[in-house]
C-alpha cells in the first residue's frame, strides 16, 4: 500500500519533470531567428477590420500633415513613410473613398455602409461616424 | 463759343470727379484684398523669430491663415519644426497647430516672445524615426558606459521591433532576476516586439513577444516585465508650447505621437 503511494508520487513527479522539459523545449524551439517576427494578427469581423483600417489611414493622414503641413491629395501619397500598403475595404474589396481639401479637412469613407449593417460609416478629421 | 467752352469744362470736371471717386473707391478695395496676405506673412516672420530664439531645431516653418470673414482673426496657425531636440532624443518633426488662436501681440512684438492666450483647438504631432530611436539608444549606452552591444529598431505597425545583443551587466538586476532562467553566459541576445501606449506625456511599452537567448519568454513573465519597466519614458514638453501627449501609433517609418 505504502509502496504503491510512493510509486504514484514518483510517477507524478516524473510527469511534471517531463512536462517542464517539454515546455522548455517548446520555448526553445520557438526562439530561433526565423521566429523574429511580430505576433500574427487575430481574425476580425469585416466591421472591426474596416474601423481598424480607417483609423490607421486617419493616423497616417494626420502624420502626413505633420510632415508636410497639408493633407495628401490621394491615399497613395502615404506610402512608404506612413503606411506600407493602402488597405482595401474588407466588405467591398475595393479602395476606401478619400476626399480632402488638402488644407483643413479630410474624409475617409466606405463605399457602401449597408455591407456592414450601417447607414453611415466614415471618418472625418479624425472623428469616426458610425450609424 | 463761351457756352461750348463752359460745357466742355463741365464735362471734363465731371469726368475728373468720376475718376477721383472711382480711384478713392477702388484703391482701398485693392489694398484690403492684399492686406491679409501681408499681415499673415509679417506675423509668420515675427513668430518664427520668437520661436527660433526659444527652440533649437534644424528648420522651422510657420504658417498663418487669416479668416476671410472676420478681419484680424487667425483661422489656423501651424508651426513645424524639423530635427528638434526632445529631451535626449531628436524628433524628426514636431508640428503644433492652433485653430482660431489669440496671440499676445504685445509680447510678440516688444519682447519677441510667443504666447498663445487662447485657442479653439490645439493639435500637437511628433514624428520619430527608427534612426532617431537608434541614435538615442547609442547616446544612452555611451552615457551608461555600455560597450559591446548591438540594438536595431524597425517598425512593423502596430509593433515596434528591437533586435538586441547586450551584456547582462547592462540590464537592471531586477529584470535579470526575472529572466535568470533564460540567461546563459553573460549576454542577452534576442528579439522583442512591443506595442506602445502614451498617456500624460509618458510612454509605455507592452511586450507582445520577446525571445531571449533562443527562448520565447512566457506571457506571465512578460506581464511582470511590463509592470516593472513602465512608464518607460517621459515625453518632454517643448517650451513655450503646452501639451499632453496621449496617443501613439507605430507607422511604417515613424512613431507618431499626438495629444
Domain ranges of chain B: 39-119, 131-250
Record: contact B256-A62, CB cut-off 8 A: yes
pLDDT at B16: 52
With beta carbons less than 8 A apart as the criterion, state whether A22 and A29 touch.
no
| Residue in chain A lying closest to B195 (CA) | A38
Record: contact A56-B256, CB cut-off 8 A: no
Within 10 Å of residue B90's Cβ, how many Cβ atoms? 20
Range name among B184-188, B205-209, B218-222 with the lowest pLDDT average: B184-188
Record: contact B251-A30, CB cut-off 8 A: no
Average pLDDT over residues B22-45: 57
The H or E element spanning position A99 is strand A97-100
From first CA to last CA, the distance across chain B in angstroms is 84
Kindly state the percentage of chain A with pLDDT values over 70: 99
* Residue listed under C-alpha cell 509679417: B42
Rg (CA), chain B: 30
- Whether the predicted pLDDT of B113 surpasses 70: yes
Full-model pTM: 0.82
Count Cβ neighbours within 10 Å for each residue of B229-244 and write b for 16 or more, e otherwise.
beeebebeebeebebe
Q: Which residue has the higher pLDDT, B91 or A30?
A: B91
Residue B4 banded pLDDT, cuts 50, 70, 90: low
**What does the pLDDT look like over A95-118, one tens digit per residue?**
999 999 988 899 999 999 999 999
Record: contact B215-A56, CB cut-off 8 A: no
Record: contact A69-B95, CB cut-off 8 A: yes
Average pLDDT over residues B219-243: 91
Average model confidence (pLDDT) for chain A?
90
pLDDT at A26: 76
Note if the bond before A23 is cis, omega within 30 degrees.
Answer: no
Residue A34 banded pLDDT, cuts 50, 70, 90: confident
| Helix/strand/coil for A49 | helix
Residue B10 grid coordinates? 463741365
* Alpha-carbon distance A82 to nearest alpha carbon in chain B (angstroms): 5
Nearest to A69 by CA among B128, B93, B2: B93
From first CA to last CA, the distance across chain A in angstroms is 71
- Whether the predicted pLDDT of B257 surpasses 80: yes
A93: left (phi over 0), alpha (psi -120 to 50) or beta: left
- Whether the predicted pLDDT of A11 surpasses 80: yes
Residues from chain A contacting residue B191 (CB–CB below 8 Å): 33, 35-36
A79 Cβ contact partners less than 8 Å away, ≥ 6 residues apart: A85, A86, B252
With beta carbons less than 8 A apart as the criterion, state whether B119 and B99 touch.
yes
* Residue listed under C-alpha cell 466591421: A47
Record: contact A66-B93, CB cut-off 8 A: yes
Average model confidence (pLDDT) for chain B?
85
Q: Is A30 exposed, middle or buried (0-12, 13-18, 19+ CB in 10 A)?
A: middle
* Alpha-carbon distance B193 to nearest alpha carbon in chain A (angstroms): 6
Record: contact B215-A39, CB cut-off 8 A: no
Residue A74 grid coordinates? 490621394
Candidates A24, A66, A104; nearest CB to B95 = A66
Average pLDDT over residues A28-47: 85
Within 10 Å of residue B114's Cβ, how many Cβ atoms? 25
B137 Cβ contact partners less than 8 Å away, ≥ 6 residues apart: B151, B153
pLDDT at B13: 60
Q: Please state the three-class secondary structure of chain B as a single string.
A: CHHHHHHHHHHHHHHHHHHHHHHHHHHHHHHHHHHHHHHHHHHHHHHHHHHHHHCCCCEEEEEEEECCCCCCCEEEEEEEEEEEEECCEEEEEEEEEEECCEECHHHHHHHCCCCEEECCEEEEEEEEEHHHHHHHHHHHHHHCCCCCCEEEEEEECCEEEEEEEEEHHHCCHHHHHHCHHHCCCCEEEEEEEEEEEEECCEEEEEEEEEEECCEECCHHHHHHHHHHHCCCEECCCCCCCCCCCCEEEECCCEEEEEC
Interface test with A, best of B207, B209, B255 (most A CBs within 10 A): B209
B215 in contact with A, Cβ within 8 Å: yes
**What does the pLDDT look like over B67-90, one tens digit per residue?**
888 887 899 999 999 999 988 889
Distance CA B140, CA B144 (A): 6
Note if the bond before A15 is cis, omega within 30 degrees.
Answer: no
Interface test with B, best of A30, A31, A84 (most B CBs within 10 A): A31
Nearest to B127 by CA among B244, B255, B259: B255
**What does the pLDDT look like over A75-102, one tens digit per residue?**
999 999 999 999 999 878 889 999 999 8
Which value does ipTM take for this structure? 0.81
* Alpha-carbon distance B172 to nearest alpha carbon in chain A (angstroms): 23
Rg (CA), chain A: 26
Average pLDDT over residues B48-52: 92
* Alpha-carbon distance B216 to nearest alpha carbon in chain A (angstroms): 5
Amino acid at each position: 500500500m505504502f509502496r504503491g503511494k510512493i510509486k504514484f508520487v514518483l510517477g507524478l513527479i516524473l510527469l511534471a519533470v517531463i512536462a517542464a522539459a517539454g515546455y522548455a523545449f517548446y520555448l526553445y524551439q520557438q526562439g530561433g531567428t526565423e521566429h523574429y517576427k511580430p505576433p500574427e494578427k487575430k481574425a476580425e469581423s469585416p466591421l472591426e477590420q474596416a474601423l481598424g483600417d480607417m483609423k490607421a489611414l486617419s493616423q497616417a493622414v494626420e502624420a502626413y500633415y505633420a510632415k508636410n503641413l497639408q493633407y495628401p491629395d490621394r491615399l497613395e501619397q502615404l506610402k512608404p513613410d506612413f503606411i506600407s500598403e493602402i488597405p482595401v475595404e474588407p466588405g467591398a474589396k475595393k479602395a476606401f473613398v478619400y476626399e480632402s481639401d488638402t488644407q483643413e479637412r479630410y474624409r475617409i469613407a466606405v463605399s457602401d455602409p449597408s455591407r456592414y449593417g450601417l447607414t453611415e460609416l466614415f471618418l472625418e478629421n479624425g472623428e469616426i461616424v458610425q450609424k | 463759343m463761351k457756352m461750348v467752352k463752359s460745357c466742355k469744362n463741365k464735362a471734363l470736371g465731371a469726368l475728373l470727379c468720376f475718376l477721383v471717386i472711382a480711384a478713392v473707391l477702388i484703391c482701398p478695395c485693392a489694398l484690403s484684398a492684399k492686406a491679409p496676405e501681408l499681415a499673415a506673412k509679417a506675423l509668420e516672420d515675427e513668430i518664427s523669430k520668437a520661436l527660433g530664439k526659444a527652440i533649437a531645431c534644424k528648420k522651422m516653418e510657420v504658417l498663418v491663415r487669416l479668416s476671410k470673414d472676420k478681419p484680424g482673426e487667425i483661422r489656423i496657425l501651424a508651426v513645424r519644426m524639423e530635427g528638434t531636440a526632445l529631451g535626449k532624443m531628436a524628433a524628426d518633426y514636431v508640428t503644433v497647430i492652433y485653430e482660431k488662436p489669440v496671440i499676445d501681440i504685445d509680447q510678440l512684438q516688444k519682447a519677441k516672445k510667443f504666447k498663445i492666450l487662447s485657442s479653439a483647438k490645439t493639435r500637437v504631432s511628433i514624428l520619430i524615426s527608427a534612426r532617431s530611436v537608434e541614435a538615442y539608444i547609442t547616446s544612452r549606452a555611451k552615457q551608461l558606459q555600455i560597450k559591446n552591444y548591438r540594438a536595431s529598431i524597425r517598425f512593423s505597425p502596430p509593433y515596434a521591433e528591437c533586435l538586441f545583443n547586450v551584456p547582462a551587466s547592462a540590464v537592471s538586476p531586477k529584470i535579470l532576476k526575472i529572466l535568470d532562467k533564460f540567461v546563459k553566459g553573460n549576454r542577452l541576445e534576442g528579439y522583442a516586439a512591443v506595442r506602445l501606449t502614451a498617456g500624460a506625456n509618458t510612454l509605455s511599452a507592452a511586450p507582445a513577444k520577446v525571445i531571449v537567448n533562443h527562448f520565447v519568454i512566457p506571457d506571465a513573465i512578460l506581464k511582470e516585465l511590463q509592470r516593472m519597466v513602465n512608464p518607460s519614458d517621459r515625453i518632454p514638453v517643448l517650451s513655450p508650447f503646452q501639451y499632453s501627449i496621449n496617443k501613439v501609433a507605430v507607422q511604417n517609418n515613424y512613431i507618431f505621437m499626438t495629444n
